[in-house]
Homo-oligomer: A and B are copies of this chain.
């Protein structure tokens, strides 16, 4: 399977706390392997995502990274490609069809994104050219890249939900 790392760019501690948390939780649930927090340092977010992982399983981790440019350059040297989700970009639905191998860093901005980023990535992709939500864009992007296979992931956590027509069935205990 393709390896995906989600980089949240330009996080603002107070304004973005919940959106950034949703970005990382969606990344985890939808098959990304790691998250990188850039912008203002915000360890409670890292801890929240860690705590979800401890209970619900999987290996997804978030780390804080002060210098996004250095991080992206270093990943590129290691052979990763970089995609930036932006409403100004090209239609994601064509490109994601070709993203069936390799390692990708997906950059999800917050507020104004430095123009430098547009130039240093392999592609700038738009999930519609309308203003909406980076969480929505990321989720649709991952769903297309993984072709729905992410829905079958097993996380092996201590908490597991048994899908139910009309209720909450939760199994707790050792790792499932």
A residues in contact (CB < 8 Å) with B: 15-16, 18-19, 22-23, 25-26, 28-30, 52, 56, 87-91, 93, 118-119, 123-124, 126-133, 135-140, 143, 148, 150-151, 153, 155, 160-170
Q: 3 smallest A-B Cβ distances: which pairs? A: A136-B139, A22-B133, A26-B136
Q: How far is the CA of A87 from the CA of B168 in the complex (A)?
A: 9
Q: A91-B151, A93-B151 are in contact. List 18 more A-B contacts (CB 8 A).
A: A19-B19, A25-B132, A26-B135, A26-B136, A28-B132, A29-B130, A30-B132, A30-B136, A118-B166, A118-B167, A124-B165, A126-B163, A128-B153, A129-B161, A129-B163, A135-B136, A136-B139, A140-B143
CB closest chain-B residue, reference A17: B18
Q: List 22 A-B contacts (CB under 8 A).
A: A16-B18, A22-B136, A25-B130, A26-B135, A29-B128, A30-B136, A56-B130, A88-B164, A88-B167, A88-B168, A88-B170, A90-B163, A123-B165, A127-B151, A128-B153, A129-B161, A129-B163, A130-B155, A133-B139, A135-B136, A140-B143, A143-B143
Distance between A79 CB and nearest chain B CB, rounded to angstroms? 22
In contact, B88 and A131 (Cβ under 8 angstroms): no
Residues of B near A119 (CB, < 8 A) are 166
This chain: copies in complex: 2
